[in-house]
């Protein structure tokens, strides 16, 4: 069993490696997801990591509603580029089963099913009906059963 100190050290090493990789690739932000957990590094104005405060305190950036939802649930992402359609059984607050169809993406006159990756409650829709979506874009969030 890992101690809390060891886990924190491992996370710090992973975050440093992610920052190094993102810097090499010229990325502003990098997120790694493993199962239901994710770790994100983001370049601040002063470089990677936490901003260095001067005499004046820096204001913390409030997370967006989408960031909060994604932090508390499992994203349902688009596997194709197209137009997003919500199915009737996929409304926030409703229970969904793993692999249940929760949306459709119309692409080149074809409909691609969007399925829930986990069983749980549909927490939030991140894309409105009829909006264009990109490959890998988060469409909705499922708060998975623990």
Tell me, yes or no, whether 92 lies in a domain: yes
Cβ proximity of 133 and 85 under 8 Å: no
pTM: 0.52
Whether 49 and 85 share a structural domain: no
Tell me, yes or no, whether 81 lies in a domain: yes
CATH code of residue 86 = 2.40.50.100
Residue segments in the chain with a per-residue pLDDT below the cut of 50: 1-4, 7, 45-46, 48-59
Cβ proximity of 135 and 119 under 8 Å: no
Whether 48 and 81 share a structural domain: no
Whether 35 and 93 share a structural domain: no
Tell me, yes or no, whether 69 lies in a domain: no
Whether 55 and 79 share a structural domain: no
Residue 105 CA, chain-centre distance (Å), reads 19
Q: Check residue 13 and give its pLDDT.
A: 75
Q: How many domains does the chain have?
A: 2
Tell me, yes or no, whether 68 lies in a domain: no
Q: Check residue 105 and give its pLDDT.
A: 93
Q: Check residue 71 and give its pLDDT.
A: 59
Structural domain range at position 46: 4-61
Tell me, yes or no, whether 66 lies in a domain: no
Q: Check residue 146 and give its pLDDT.
A: 58
Handedness of CA 90, 92, 94, 100 (dihedral sign): positive
Q: Check residue 95 and give its pLDDT.
A: 92
Q: Check residue 54 and give its pLDDT.
A: 41
């Amino acid at each position: 069993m890992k101690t809390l100190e060891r886990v924190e050290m491992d996370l710090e090493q992973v975050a440093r490696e992610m920052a190094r990789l993102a810097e090499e690739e010229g990325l502003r932000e990098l997120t790694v997801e493993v199962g239901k957990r994710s770790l994100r590094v983001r370049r601040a104005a002063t470089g990677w990591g936490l901003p260095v405060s001067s005499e004046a305190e820096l204001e913390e950036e409030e997370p967006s509603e989408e960031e909060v939802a994604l932090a508390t649930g499992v994203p349902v992402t688009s596997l194709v580029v197209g137009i997003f359609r919500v199915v009737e059984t996929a409304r926030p607050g409703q229970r969904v089963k793993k692999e249940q169809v929760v949306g459709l993406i119309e692409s080149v006159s074809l409909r691609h099913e969007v399925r829930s990756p986990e069983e749980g409650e549909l927490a939030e829709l991140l894309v409105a009906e009829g909006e264009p979506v990109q490959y890998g874009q988060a469409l909705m969030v499922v708060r998975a059963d623990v």
